Structure 1
Amino acid sequence: MSNPAPRPDGQGGQAVPDGGGRGFLGKIGARMAPPRPEAAPSIHTREALLLLRNYEESGQGWFWSTDAEGRLTYITQYVAEQMGRTAAALIGASFSDLFLPVDSHGERQRTLPFLLTKQSKFDELPLRSAFEGDRWWAVSGRPHFDGGGRFTGYRGSGTDITQQRQSAEDASRLAMYDSLTGLANRFNISKKLDTTLAAFSQQHRSCAIMLLDLDRFKQVNDTLGHPAGDALLKQVAERLLKIVGDKEMVSRLGGDEFQILLPDVEDRGKLGDMAADIIASLSQPYSVEGSRCIIGASVGVAISPFDGMTSDDLVRNADLALYAAKGNGRGRFRFYSSDLHQSAEDRRALEEDLRDALARGEMELSYQPVVNAKTDTVTGMEALVRWTHPERGPISPSLFIPIAEETNLIWALGEWVLRKATEDAAAWPGQMRVAVNVSPIQFANAELPKIVTHALAASGLPPEQLELEITESVFLGDSAETSHMFKALKAIGVRLALDDFGTGYSSLGYLQSAPFDKIKIDQSFVRGATEPGSRNGAIIAAIVALAEALEMETTAEGIESLDQLDLIRKLNVSHVQGYVYSKPVSNGELLGHAESGSWTIKPTGPARQRNDRFQMFRKVGAIHDNHRYAVVMRNLSATGAFIEGIQDVPLGTQFVIDFGEGQLVTATVRRSKQHQQGIQFETPLVSDGNGGLCTRHRVSPYLIAAAAQQSGGLSLPMFTTTSDWTGK
């Protein structure tokens, strides 16, 4: 069918009824046609129609038009087909209904209905198809008016930008998410933390963050290669997501560092439980490219507004807590507290002092008896290294051993311990064994068998009287080097003990090949074993049965009460180590006890296990009836404390104990004698992740400020119960 000539005024034209929804081409062609003479316009119009039709059919773009009410009067056929319709079926439909509303896909722009109502022109407006969730169009439109200036509708065009949109989203994802694990990256989580804290400060809400760092991850990269390390990081991310749940709240900062954002969480009991769960989960063995890997994790926790109100402060303080957690032995969590700043400085100073401690003779060994559970006879001693600093006094091994490992001083220190312990043991009467701890770093050094041989030769101690205690972490990669080391040590004739069995890296597989003579049951299983409902006794029984089947001895560590000892004996544990028999003693004391050739110890201690009590001399506040008393806390447990400093306090008196830094707990006097009181806490304290205790909740700085305004000064006495200041 031939195309009709346009009208002389150039306004519109008759649509071409081609059955394909292309009538708009006739209109376009008529508008484009020049005025008479008629022959020339007819040729140009025909060519223009063919070009536009070819353009539509190529799929590179499409056209549309509406009436004054926004109803479609034309749409390209292939676009209608993309929407699962025909052009004829869409004629009369609202043009806006072809696309999803702006709010449904997060676009920040003026909406299409708004633009059509305002009769505004628009160009390249990105719109998402209402019929296909993943297709995007860039739509342009111009309002059209008749000769009298009356609005008659829109005419416009569109192009498919799905691919460009996907590329942009991919680029945005790369900028916001870690390409390896799919977790949010550092930029993403930092932006999210900034936004959260800004909003929460106005709403007086709390927000916690956890920073975690993988322990021994570098060994995986070094022994198995970077591809294995990448595969391991993916598994770590999966385990974190199972615990946290919300993918947007977990991020990988880079390397083996991760961050978790926890809005509206300030309960340190819950946070401690989550941190412990994370550490336990990440410490379970991994299977990577056919190899078995074992790593661990350390966690630092900071909570806004208590530990910082800006993202910089919060992250810095969480990092300081993480540093402290790693410095205190790894595989643990730590809450931020203000004293960590000084602790960090002290630790850096200790690093320098430790380098010269051996040369200055500041190191010494103590020995804790290992006792036969049936006869109460000492069969051996565990060598424990002690450091007495010339200015700071005794330094805990949990503090200086990690420093020695990080600064590569552990080899020199370990060699000294081995030589000194064998030298002392050679002079002991009878045939008592000496046990020496070997760190994973020492175990990985090919020189270890040579050092052991030299120590035995120099001291004259028979090899069978030396026992090397090795933790499960030496099985990091189940490598050939590990098996070779075991064979080399057994060839010397020394005994091997598996230390801290069952603390998170357990696998029965290596017990089939590793030539251990003893399994040491970690004290975490002993604690609580005598409490009603505890399963620890069943676990200990299973370990003993396993050891007996493999013809190994067993030693239970950390036995402190007589009921624990009774249970251990009933479960057939062969040896016991703990305060119920003896604290560590010097070599001189040991010789005095064993001078007759043997040493038998009668067990003593509390009849039943009780909550851990921490001896201390700590100044705290005790608030009662608008008075704040300065008292000294002498000991502390999860459920109570012993204080002194107030005279003749009646039983039943309630105090608010102020530990500082917003840590308050209501306590009732249960025992009172002159200036000393035994108090019971209304709400038990929780672990601080570092072997100490802290309050579950803290008083918000917002609440303290509000209370101070109301009371005109001293604010804490306004709170009479825990729920008053926690809102719980």
Structure 2
Amino acid sequence: MPISPLLLLILALALGLSGVAAGVLWARRRSVTICPERDSHDRLARLLVDEFEGHSNGWFWRTDAEGCLSYLSAKVAAELDAPDAPALGQPLPTLFRMDSASPETERTLGFHLAARTAFSNYSVRPASRAKLERWWSISGRPIADSSGAFLGFVGSGSDLTETRRADAEITRLALFDGLTGLANRQRLRLSLEQTLSASSVAPRTSALLLLDLDRFKAVNDTLGHHTGDALLKQVAQRLQRAIGGNGLVGRLGGDEFQVILPNETDRTRLGDLARRVIFDLSQPYTIEGSAISIGCSIGVAIAPEDGHDAETLVRNADLALYAAKGDGRGIHRFFRPEMLAGAQSRKQLEDDLRDALAANQFFVAYQPVVSTKTERIVGYEALLRWEHPTRGLISPADFVPVAEDCGLIESIGEWVLRTACLDAACWPKDVRVAVNVSPIQFANPALPTVVTSALAKSGIAPDRLELEITEGVFVNENAATEQMFRTLKGCGVRLALDDFGTGYSSLGYLKKAPFDKIKIDQSFVRGAAIAGNRNAAIIKAIVSLAETLGMETTAEGVENHDEIALIRELGCSHIQGYVYGKPARAPDVLEQLAAGGGRAIANGFRVSRSPRTAMLRTARIQAGDIVGEVRIRNLSTTGAMIDGIDVEAGAGEFEVLIELLEDQMFPATLRWAADGKAGLAFAESFNLERLAAATTAPVRKAG
């Protein structure tokens, strides 16, 4: 039995022989005399080929002179055979097609077969889309007999399926978020850059939405990362449904998401979409039987007006998101140029803030806390102030949030604590000092050590130090929160709950947290002495609650004498506010304690005034038979301040009529007059809504 010519060729290919060597071997075999030894060689060759085909990812193929398959390894034939069309006998291009994902060649299999030229490592897939997802690499070369007559092609192949799948998985991991399956940061960046690529005519238009989940951190910290991950998956699904096929949805990381909307610039549609997304993401979630509610804030930037390149557009969307969160969260904001100016100012403020502590630009001012029973000063609240070398005094409302965001609040807070303790060491031993502690400071396990160090260095008794803590520390309430309270109480200091009623008010934590005092926020004190105001009832309820729990109460923001009387009547134990003086520096505090013997002296207005609206408008005024014009400077429901009036000194009070609405005169009493200004008290309460609803100006505009 002669050795099969194809077997020799296949064996030659398996052994790495060249096409020429294989052809020579074939030609030589045709002239070899048959002998028994050749049969054993034939069996050995067959065994080697079977071993190669059966235990590797390689395989062989051969065509006749017409390009139809005359041999194909069984494992590949099994995948390409159809019930009515076996692979053998079919043209090679009918079974395989070039893989469009591999642009390594511009020539096709049909070209090489027709031109009778060799090819190597072409990536191919099954020509029928109904076949299995397979990828192969094939190589082939033409063969001829000893006389040079073309016999067909012979070649080999190898399976690329697992390699391609591994490559696809690597690509997926590189471009998609592993948790949610959304596009990841890299894919979002590439997509945005491609979307914004300038055409030959004009820059491309696009909208970018930047989303941040509200209250997600609290869920993650209290319910665990497993629940947080499950929540993020549900958020991703809702967001994908809301956007649909209109844009690319991705996750930047954490609880931040991004949406790219090509060719969308209509602000009305974008606003409607943002509101719908916020609504959808704010609906309750159910995870392992727990109902969870979060929120969402969105910043929107539009190209090209808000940025021609990806970096600028992302920055401006982030500024818009920052504005949305600053305006109360749960809303969307479009980027405006002034946001960038604000961010630049904030950055400059941050840079200046980093130098302020080393340059001794901070100082502490102290506001007295007065006993309602004895009217004596029992303590002072230490208030941080910043005197900028060029900008003057900067409000804490402006720089404290910046200090918290840039990580400076702990070092600044420690400086305030140590300074306040040292200053208090010079006061009478029965006067306490209160120091604010931010949630960031409270979360630092080193806080008790800082407190005990400040007490030791100043030498004051621990119970003379009162730490004021806001309700923000309870947002992420956990075992560490309770342990911090126990440790601080173990240091002997007093604890006060600051701004009660303005944050995450919960009666539950009043049972667990060992507070010595509740500070009633000034928003409840303001206007409490005005008839019909319900703040007095709220204050009374807080005082009753505190007394039941054995806690003191301090009413903040007291500015008038009648408010002192009301706060005393409602049972509040302490008063703090401008009525007893504005915050003063440490030397002034010593003078204040010495001058009054520790007794507080009330000043300011005798009675509370209704909230007033500043304005500048001309109005007619009539006193007896005299009619003239004045300018209204501010207006409330009970009175107004006017100027442009000439009243003789010592004229006393008298009745007038003033035109508040067009052609409508209202009776009032002129209570005081000085330097061309005067104060009016209305005979009846005036409804300011009538002024806002007037269809025409009630009086003539000032010239």
1:483–1:514 contact (8 Å) kept in structure 2: no
Distance across 1 between alignment mates of 2:416 and 2:215: 21
1:241 aligned partner: 236
Deviation of 1:483 after TM superposition, in Å, equals 1.1
1:190 counterpart letter in structure 2: R
User: In the superposition, relative to structure 1, how do residues 455 and 324 fare at CA in structure 2: closer, same or farther (>3 Å)?
Assistant: farther
Corresponding position: 1:494 with 2:494 = yes
1:586 aligned partner: 582
Distance across 2 between alignment mates of 1:370 and 1:178: 59
Deviation of 1:343 after TM superposition, in Å, equals 0.8
1:523–1:557 contact (8 Å) kept in structure 2: yes
2:236 counterpart letter in structure 1: L
2:362–2:387 contact (8 Å) kept in structure 1: no
Distance across 1 between alignment mates of 2:188 and 2:412: 37
Deviation of 1:412 after TM superposition, in Å, equals 0.6
Structure 2 stretches of 5 or more lacking a match? 9-21, 289-293, 526-537, 559-569, 617-632, 635-661, 663-692
User: In the superposition, relative to structure 1, how do residues 160 and 583 fare at CA in structure 2: closer, same or farther (>3 Å)?
Assistant: farther
Deviation of 1:339 after TM superposition, in Å, equals 1.0
Aligned equivalent of 2:123, options 122, 125, 133: 125
1:364 aligned partner: 365
Deviations 1:382-420, CA, capped at 9 Å, x for gaps: 765444545324423233224445232221134446777
Distance across 2 between alignment mates of 1:456 and 1:327: 39
Deviation of 1:495 after TM superposition, in Å, equals 3.8
Aligned equivalent of 2:53, options 53, 56, 65: 56
Aligned equivalent of 1:34, options 23, 28, 34: 28
Deviation of 1:119 after TM superposition, in Å, equals 4.0
Matches within 5 A, 1:85-484: 89-91=86-88, 102=99, 108=103, 115=110, 119=114, 122=119, 123-127=121-125, 130=129, 135-141=134-140, 156-173=155-172, 175-176=174-175, 187-198=186-197, 202=202, 204-208=204-208, 210=210, 238=233, 241=236, 244-245=239-240, 249-252=249-252, 260-263=258-261, 264=264, 302-315=301-314, 317=316, 335=335, 337-340=339-342, 342-344=344-346, 346-352=348-354, 354-355=356-357, 359=360, 363-365=364-366, 385-405=384-404, 406-407=407-408, 408-416=411-419, 436-443=435-442, 444=444, 445-450=447-452, 466=466, 468-473=468-473, 478=478, 483-484=483-484
Deviations 1:501-545, CA, capped at 9 Å, x for gaps: 7968x999866643346778999999xxxxxxxxxxxxx9xx99x
Deviation of 1:367 after TM superposition, in Å, equals 7.8
1:519–1:553 contact (8 Å) kept in structure 2: yes
- TM-score, normalised on structure 2? 0.53
1:208 counterpart letter in structure 2: L
1:209–1:262 contact (8 Å) kept in structure 2: yes
Q: CA RMSD in A?
A: 7.3
2:278–2:295 contact (8 Å) kept in structure 1: no
Deviation of 1:305 after TM superposition, in Å, equals 1.9
Aligned equivalent of 2:74, options 74, 77, 80: 77
Secondary structure of the residue that 1:446 maps to in structure 2? helix
User: In the superposition, relative to structure 1, how do residues 472 and 492 fare at CA in structure 2: closer, same or farther (>3 Å)?
Assistant: same
Deviations 1:142-192, CA, capped at 9 Å, x for gaps: 578999999998654321122322343344455546779977665444322
User: In the superposition, relative to structure 1, how do residues 331 and 232 fare at CA in structure 2: closer, same or farther (>3 Å)?
Assistant: farther
2:258 counterpart letter in structure 1: I
2:416 counterpart letter in structure 1: L
Deviation of 1:481 after TM superposition, in Å, equals 7.8
1:102–1:111 contact (8 Å) kept in structure 2: no
Distance across 2 between alignment mates of 1:389 and 1:68: 92
Distance across 2 between alignment mates of 1:149 and 1:385: 99
Distance across 2 between alignment mates of 1:390 and 1:478: 42
Matches within 5 A, 1:638-717: none
Deviation of 1:306 after TM superposition, in Å, equals 2.7
Distance across 2 between alignment mates of 1:584 and 1:279: 48
Distance across 2 between alignment mates of 1:197 and 1:557: 56
User: In the superposition, relative to structure 1, how do residues 558 and 132 fare at CA in structure 2: closer, same or farther (>3 Å)?
Assistant: farther
Secondary structure of the residue that 2:390 maps to in structure 1? coil
Secondary structure of the residue that 1:208 maps to in structure 2? strand
Distance across 2 between alignment mates of 1:203 and 1:392: 41
Deviation of 1:194 after TM superposition, in Å, equals 1.3
2:469–2:497 contact (8 Å) kept in structure 1: yes
2:19 aligned partner: none
2:413 counterpart letter in structure 1: I
1:401–1:410 contact (8 Å) kept in structure 2: no
Matches within 5 A, 1:482-521: 483-489=483-489, 492=492, 494-497=494-497, 513-516=512-515
Deviations 1:456-513, CA, capped at 9 Å, x for gaps: 985x9976x9562234447758455851543433763624327677968x99986664
Distance across 2 between alignment mates of 1:37 and 1:154: 22
Secondary structure of the residue that 2:28 maps to in structure 1? coil
1:532 aligned partner: none
Deviations 1:553-578, CA, capped at 9 Å, x for gaps: 89999999xxxxxxxxxxxx999x99
Distance across 1 between alignment mates of 2:476 and 2:187: 33
User: Number of paired residues?
Assistant: 545
Distance across 1 between alignment mates of 2:88 and 2:571: 90
1:279–1:331 contact (8 Å) kept in structure 2: no
User: In the superposition, relative to structure 1, how do residues 114 and 276 fare at CA in structure 2: closer, same or farther (>3 Å)?
Assistant: same
**Range 321-330 or range 403-412, more displaced:** 321-330
Deviation of 1:586 after TM superposition, in Å, equals 1.3
User: In the superposition, relative to structure 1, how do residues 418 and 68 fare at CA in structure 2: closer, same or farther (>3 Å)?
Assistant: farther
User: In the superposition, relative to structure 1, how do residues 257 and 344 fare at CA in structure 2: closer, same or farther (>3 Å)?
Assistant: farther
Distance across 2 between alignment mates of 1:456 and 1:243: 57
Distance across 2 between alignment mates of 1:548 and 1:100: 82
Distance across 2 between alignment mates of 1:149 and 1:583: 115
Deviations 1:253-309, CA, capped at 9 Å, x for gaps: 7xx79673432476785798699899999xx9x99xxxxxxx999997654323321
1:193 counterpart letter in structure 2: L
2:652 aligned partner: none
Distance across 1 between alignment mates of 2:109 and 2:579: 81
2:471–2:500 contact (8 Å) kept in structure 1: yes
User: In the superposition, relative to structure 1, how do residues 317 and 583 fare at CA in structure 2: closer, same or farther (>3 Å)?
Assistant: farther
User: In the superposition, relative to structure 1, how do residues 159 and 549 fare at CA in structure 2: closer, same or farther (>3 Å)?
Assistant: farther
1:72–1:95 contact (8 Å) kept in structure 2: yes
Distance across 2 between alignment mates of 1:112 and 1:192: 31
Give percent identity, aligned residues only: 29
